[in-house]
Structure 1
Amino acid sequence: MKIMRLRKRSVTALLAAMVSASLVTAAPAATATEEFLFEEITLSQLQAGYAKGEYTAEEVVKAYLERIEKYEASYNAFTTMNPNALEEAREIDRLRASGEPLGKLAGVPIVIKEAVDMAGFPSTMGWEPLAKELGGIELIPERDAPVVARLKAAGAIILGRTNIPAFSSSGTRATTSWDGDTYNAVDAKFVPGASSSGTATAVSGNMAVLGIAEETGGSIQNPAAAQALVGIKPTFGLVPNAGVVPLAGSTRDVIGPHARTVRDAAVMLDVIAGYSHEDPKTIASIGNIPKYGYTSKLNKLALKGKRIGLYGPGWRNQELTEETQELYDKAVEELEKQGAVVIPDPFADTGFAEYVKANGSVGIESVIYDMEDYLERLGPDAAIHSVEELLEKTGEMPSVFNRYEGNLPDPDGVADLSKFVEVRTKYLEYINETMDKFDLDALVYPQMFKETPLLSSEDNIGATTVSEINVAGVPLVTVPSGYYDSGSPFAIVFVGKLWSEASLLGMAFDYEQATQSREAPTLVVKP
C-alpha cells in the first residue's frame, strides 16, 4: 500500500480520513472508541481486554487515532502517520479470531522515533534540507531498522513516527526540527526533553502505549524524566542500532523504550534486545540477556538488602538545587523503606569527577563514518547514498560534522577512536572498582540537578549522568519520583554495571510499585 507523508497542517486531515474510513468496517457493537477508555492502560490490561473480547485491535487503534487527531495540533508529537495502522489492526483481529499465535505486542499502539528507519517512510533526520515538505530531498529507506522489524513481528501497530531536533543533537528541545517544537504533555510550558521529544510526548500524553527512543547523550532519559515516564537506556550493544540516524553509532548510540510503567518498558526491551546480523556490536549481548526475559526479574521485594550508592560531588561536583535535594531525600527514604541500604557518595576521593571534567564527552569522532554506513543502508533507490552526495545535493554542512571535517575526504575510513577507548576504559574502571569496593548493586541519582526548564527560556536540562554513562556504555533506568511545586516532574535513575538491566529493572519496579508517583497528564487543546 502506498505510504503517505504529511505536512503538519495535513496531519489532522489524514487522521480524520483514517478514522472516518474505519467507521465503515467497525463492528456495530463496538463501543470502545465512543470515548477514550484507554488512559494510562498497561500492556497486561490491554491484552486482558483483548482476551476477554472487550474490544478489538481496530477499535483500540481508532481510539488512539481519534485522540491524536484531537491533540496533535497542540503538541506536535508526530512527523509522519502510518495510514495503514487500521488495516494492520484488522489483520491482528483476524489472526486472533482464527486462533493464530500472536506476539507479545499484538494490537499494541506504539510510536517510533523519526531517527529510526521504517521501510517506505521518509528519513528526514529532523533536518530541513531532507524534508520534502519544505522543498528538501526525500530519503526513503527500503527496509526497516532491526528494532522496527522486531516490533512488527511482535504484532505492534505503529501509529506513526515522532519529532526530533535536527540530527537528534539536542537533549532539551526539538526547536531545530524542520517540523518545529514538540510540547511537553505534562505541561507545555516546560521543555519536552530531547532528542526523543515526540516519542515522550506521545507516550506520556496517552497517544500511544509504548514508544521507541534513542540516546547518544541523554535522549532517552531526559524526555522520560521531563514527562514522567519510564525510560531504559540499555548497555551499548544490547539492542541493534543499525538503520538509525547516527551521532555515535560505533560508540554510544542506543535504542530503548519509553513507557508509563516499568513492566511495560521491560516487555518492550524483551522484544527489541539481542543479537542482529545487521549490527555486529550486538554479539556482545549473547549470554547477557535473562533466559526468561527481563519481565521475569521484576519483583516487589527486589530492593530488600540491596546496596545503593547515592549522588554526591565524588560523581560530579554539581550541587542539587534545594527543592531537588528535598525530592531526592524523599526518594532515598522510600528506597530505605523498601529495605535498601544506602551509601552516601561512594565516588568521594576516587578522582572520578575530576577525570570526567578533564576528559569531557568523547565518542562522536565516528559520526562521518557512521553516517556513511547509514546512508549506504538506505538502498540503491535512495536519493542519497553517501556523505559526499549528502553535502553535494543539500548544499549544506550539517552542524554535527563541523568538528570532524577532516574525516570528509575518506568517510569510509574509520575514525581514530583511541581517545574514546582510553576514556571508556577509565570510566568503567572507576565505576566497577567503586561498586565493587562498596559492594553496590546500583547507583540511584536524581535524573536532573534542577527542575525541567521552561520552554520559553534558553536554559538546558541539567542531567546528572550525561555523558558519563553514555561514554561508559552502562545501562540506566529512569523512573518517575514525584513533582516540583511548579508541576515539573522529578525522576530518579538506577545505574549499574554493563549488562545489569535485569537487576536495575527489578529494583526500579519495586520502587515504582511502592511509590506510584506518575500522574496522568491532562492534555489541552490550544486555541
Structure 2
Amino acid sequence: MALILLSILTALSFVAGFRVAFAAEPFPFEEITVDELLEGYRTGRYTTEEVVKAYLDRIVKYEPFYNAFTMLNPNALAEAREIDRRRAAGEPLGRLAGIPIVIKESVDMAGFPQTMGWAPLSKEAGGIELIPERDAPVVARLKEAGAIILGRTNIPAFSASGTRASTSWDGDTYNAFSRKHAPGGSSSGTAMAVSGNFAVLGIAEETGGSIQNPAAAQGIVGIKPTFGLVPNVGVVPLGGSTRDVIGPHARTVRDAAIMLDVIAGFTPEDPKTVASIGNMPKYGYTSKLNNLALKGKRIGLFGPGWRNVELTPETQKLYEQAIRDLEEQGAIVVPDPFAGSGFAEYFRENGSVGLESVIYDMEDYLERLGESAAIRSVHELIEKMGEKPSVFNRYGDNLPDPDGVADLSRFVEVRTRLLEIFNDVMDKHDLDALFFPQMFKETPLLDSDENIGALTVSEINVAGLPLVTVPGGYYESGAPFAVVFVGRMWSEADLLGMAYDYEQATRHRKAPQLVVSP
C-alpha cells in the first residue's frame, strides 16, 4: 500500500506544480507547533498551500518505509488554497485554520472508504467498499476549525491490538523512532504521522490503550479523555456505549490541549456527551498551562496497590528520574497510595468488562453510514462478508439480536466500584493526580510475540478516567519512555497543566531520525 501511495502522491505533486524533493535539505517545519504555524500565516511568512506541499513532499519521501497512511486526501491542496483565499480576503477563520492533521482509519470521513482495518472491507484488498455519507462529529468539528486533513491512518483490524497494526489489510506501521520496535496500537498510523512530522496533529481513539500506547511508544503527547467528553459516534465501535473515547495526538501538551478544545463537548448526535455540560473548563483546556502547575501538588506514585507488577530495572531507573524531576517542580509525591485499598485485587477479578455492547453499537454505527452504504446492519455485514468479525466472538455461535439492548448491569457495577475506590484513595491522600510510567517495560520488538506492558490499560478505560501521556526520556536502545498523569473524571485541564509543567521542565521530546531504507 505504501508504494501505491507513493505513486499516487508523486503524480498529484506534479499536477499541483511542485517538485517532489528527495534531497537531504532539512524539513522546514520539523517540530513546528500550532501557535508557530498560525503566527507564520498571520505574518505572511508562508501560505497554507506551501506548508501542505512541504508535508506532502515529506510523506512522499518516507511513507514507503513507515506505512502510516491507508489513504491520502486528494483534496488537501485545494483545501489549503481555499484557506489562503479566505485569509487574504479577511474572512473569519477557525482555530486550526491551515493546520495539517491526520485522522485514524476507524473514524468516518464522508466520501472516504471506511475499512475498519479489515481486508474484507478494503476494495484494494479485494473486499467491499464501505463509504460513509457523513463525517463523524469530531471530523466535522476539525473541518469547521479549518484543519487540513492530509489522510487516514493505519490501524489493526477493528482496532483490536494495543501493540501493532499487523492485522491491518494494509500491513504493519513502523515506529518513527525505530522500525524494529512496535508502533503501539491501535492508533499506530496516527502516532507515527505525528511523531514523524507527517502532520502537526492527529485524531486517535481508545477502548483499551489505543491513544496512550502508541503515544508512549513513539514519544508524543496523547490525551485519553473522560468517557463522554468527546463524541464517539461515527467511529467503528468496540465499546461505544461504555469505553470508546476519541482524543488528540500531538508533539506538545499545548498543541494537544488546543485540539481538545476543538473536539470536546456536547453534540445532539451523541447523547452521551450531555455529561460534559458543566464539566468543561470555562476558559478552555489551555487555561491551566503554566510552569508552576506542579508546585504544591500531591501526586500518587505507582505501586502494587494499583497493579502488582514489577518494573524492569531500566524502567525503574527512568521512573525514579522522572519522580525527581517532578519533585524539583515542587510536587509532593505519595508512594503507592492504593496500597491496602483493594483496587488491584478488585480489578484483577472483575476488570474484563465494557465490551458487552459491541454488536449493538456496531448496528447503530452501520445504520449511521447512510442509505447509500453497501452494508447497513450487522446481519448484512456477516452475510456479505461470509464470516463473523472476530470482535463478535465473545457471543459464541448464538449472536444476540443487534436491535436489542445490551445488558450493561455488570459493567455499571464494576465501574461504580472502581470509581468508589479511586475517589476514596484520592480523598484519603488529598491527591491531585497520579503519576505512573505508561509501561512497565520497554516497547517490544515489532516481530516479537510480546505485547506492550501498559500499566493503566484497562483500569482507566473501565473506570472512564482521563489520562495524559507525556515523553519521559529514552531507553538505552533509543526507544521512548513515557509517563502518564491520571486524575478524577473531568480533570483534563488540571492534568494538562501538570503535564505541561513537567514537559517544559524536562524537554524530553526530540524528533526521530527517519530512514529511507527498510
The interval holding the TM-score normalised by the smaller chain is: over 0.9
Out of 215, 222, 230, which is 1:224 matched to? Answer: 215
Write the mapping of 1:150-229 to structure 2, written as runs, cut at 5 A.
150-229=141-220
Out of 23, 29, 52, which is 2:17 matched to? Answer: 23
Match of residue 423 from structure 1: 414
Instruction: Find the residue that maps to 1:493 and give its secondary structure.
Output: strand
CA shift digits 1:395-424 (9 cap, x unpaired): 011111001247734101111111100000
Match of residue 468 from structure 2: 477
The amino acid of 2:5's aligned partner reads: V
Match of residue 404 from structure 1: 395
2:9 corresponds to 1:9: no
Counterparts in 2 of 1:35 and 1:325: CA distance versus 1, 3 Å? closer
Out of 292, 295, 308, which is 1:317 matched to? Answer: 308
Alpha-carbon contact 1:311-1:345 (below 8 Å) kept:
yes
TM-fit CA distance, 1:316: 0.3
Match of residue 286 from structure 1: 277
| Identity within the alignment, % | 76
**CA distance, structure 2, for counterparts of residue 169 and residue 354 of structure 1:** 25
Alpha-carbon contact 1:246-1:367 (below 8 Å) kept:
yes
Counterparts in 2 of 1:24 and 1:468: CA distance versus 1, 3 Å? closer
TM-fit CA distance, 1:296: 1.4
Alpha-carbon contact 2:351-2:414 (below 8 Å) kept:
no
**CA distance, structure 1, for counterparts of residue 197 and residue 504 of structure 2:** 20
Alpha-carbon contact 1:368-1:407 (below 8 Å) kept:
no
**CA distance, structure 2, for counterparts of residue 18 and residue 43 of structure 1:** 26
**CA distance, structure 1, for counterparts of residue 132 and residue 362 of structure 2:** 14
TM-fit CA distance, 1:8: 3.7
**CA distance, structure 2, for counterparts of residue 333 and residue 201 of structure 1:** 30
CA shift digits 1:333-356 (9 cap, x unpaired): 011000000000000011111111
Out of 219, 242, 250, which is 1:251 matched to? Answer: 242
Alpha-carbon contact 1:79-1:179 (below 8 Å) kept:
yes
Match of residue 463 from structure 1: 454
Match of residue 237 from structure 1: 228
Match of residue 339 from structure 1: 330
Write the mapping of 1:34-113 to structure 2, written as runs, cut at 5 A.
36-113=27-104
TM-fit CA distance, 1:467: 0.4
**CA distance, structure 1, for counterparts of residue 99 and residue 13 of structure 2:** 17
Segment drifting more, 350-359 vs 116-125? 350-359
Match of residue 378 from structure 1: 369
The amino acid of 2:297's aligned partner reads: K
TM-score normalised according to structure 2 size:
0.98
**CA distance, structure 2, for counterparts of residue 96 and residue 471 of structure 1:** 44
**CA distance, structure 2, for counterparts of residue 289 and residue 14 of structure 1:** 42
**CA distance, structure 2, for counterparts of residue 504 and residue 44 of structure 1:** 21
**CA distance, structure 2, for counterparts of residue 35 and residue 185 of structure 1:** 17
TM-fit CA distance, 1:450: 0.4
The amino acid of 2:321's aligned partner reads: K
Match of residue 120 from structure 1: 111
Segment drifting more, 159-168 vs 408-417? 408-417
The amino acid of 2:312's aligned partner reads: T
CA shift digits 1:282-327 (9 cap, x unpaired): 0000011111110112111000000000000000000111110110
Instruction: Find the residue that maps to 1:137 and give its secondary structure.
Output: coil
Alpha-carbon contact 2:49-2:81 (below 8 Å) kept:
yes
**CA distance, structure 2, for counterparts of residue 183 and residue 361 of structure 1:** 29
Out of 268, 283, 289, which is 1:277 matched to? Answer: 268
2:354 corresponds to 1:360: no
Out of 506, 511, 517, which is 1:520 matched to? Answer: 511
**CA distance, structure 2, for counterparts of residue 480 and residue 50 of structure 1:** 29
Instruction: Find the residue that maps to 1:485 and give its secondary structure.
Output: coil
**CA distance, structure 1, for counterparts of residue 433 and residue 173 of structure 2:** 33
**CA distance, structure 2, for counterparts of residue 314 and residue 280 of structure 1:** 35
Match of residue 506 from structure 1: 497
TM-fit CA distance, 1:360: 2.5
Instruction: Find the residue that maps to 1:296 and give its secondary structure.
Output: coil
Counterparts in 2 of 1:407 and 1:437: CA distance versus 1, 3 Å? farther
The amino acid of 1:213's aligned partner reads: A
Question: Which runs of no fewer than 5 residues in structure 1 stay unpaired?
Answer: 1-6, 26-32
Alpha-carbon contact 2:18-2:53 (below 8 Å) kept:
no
Alpha-carbon contact 1:379-1:385 (below 8 Å) kept:
yes
Segment drifting more, 296-305 vs 250-259? 296-305
**CA distance, structure 2, for counterparts of residue 134 and residue 24 of structure 1:** 31
The amino acid of 1:82's aligned partner reads: N
CA shift digits 1:128-181 (9 cap, x unpaired): 110111110110000000000000000000000000000000000000000000
**CA distance, structure 2, for counterparts of residue 60 and residue 76 of structure 1:** 21
Segment drifting more, 470-479 vs 12-21? 12-21
Instruction: Find the residue that maps to 2:434 and give its secondary structure.
Output: strand
TM-fit CA distance, 1:15: 1.0
**CA distance, structure 1, for counterparts of residue 120 and residue 397 of structure 2:** 23
**CA distance, structure 1, for counterparts of residue 465 and residue 385 of structure 2:** 36
Alpha-carbon contact 1:481-1:492 (below 8 Å) kept:
yes
Superposition RMSD on alpha carbons, in Å? 1.4
TM-score normalised according to structure 1 size:
0.96
The amino acid of 1:432's aligned partner reads: N
Aligned pairs, how many? 515
**CA distance, structure 2, for counterparts of residue 19 and residue 44 of structure 1:** 27
Instruction: Find the residue that maps to 1:318 and give its secondary structure.
Output: coil
CA shift digits 1:193-247 (9 cap, x unpaired): 0000000000000000000000000000000000000000000000000000000
**CA distance, structure 2, for counterparts of residue 150 and residue 515 of structure 1:** 33
Alpha-carbon contact 2:2-2:65 (below 8 Å) kept:
no
TM-fit CA distance, 1:22: 2.3
Instruction: Find the residue that maps to 1:364 and give its secondary structure.
Output: coil
TM-fit CA distance, 1:63: 0.3
The amino acid of 2:16's aligned partner reads: S
Instruction: Find the residue that maps to 2:186 and give its secondary structure.
Output: coil
Alpha-carbon contact 1:230-1:265 (below 8 Å) kept:
yes
The amino acid of 2:104's aligned partner reads: K
Question: Which runs of no fewer than 5 residues in structure 2 stay unpaired?
Answer: none
TM-fit CA distance, 1:52: 1.2
Alpha-carbon contact 1:235-1:498 (below 8 Å) kept:
yes
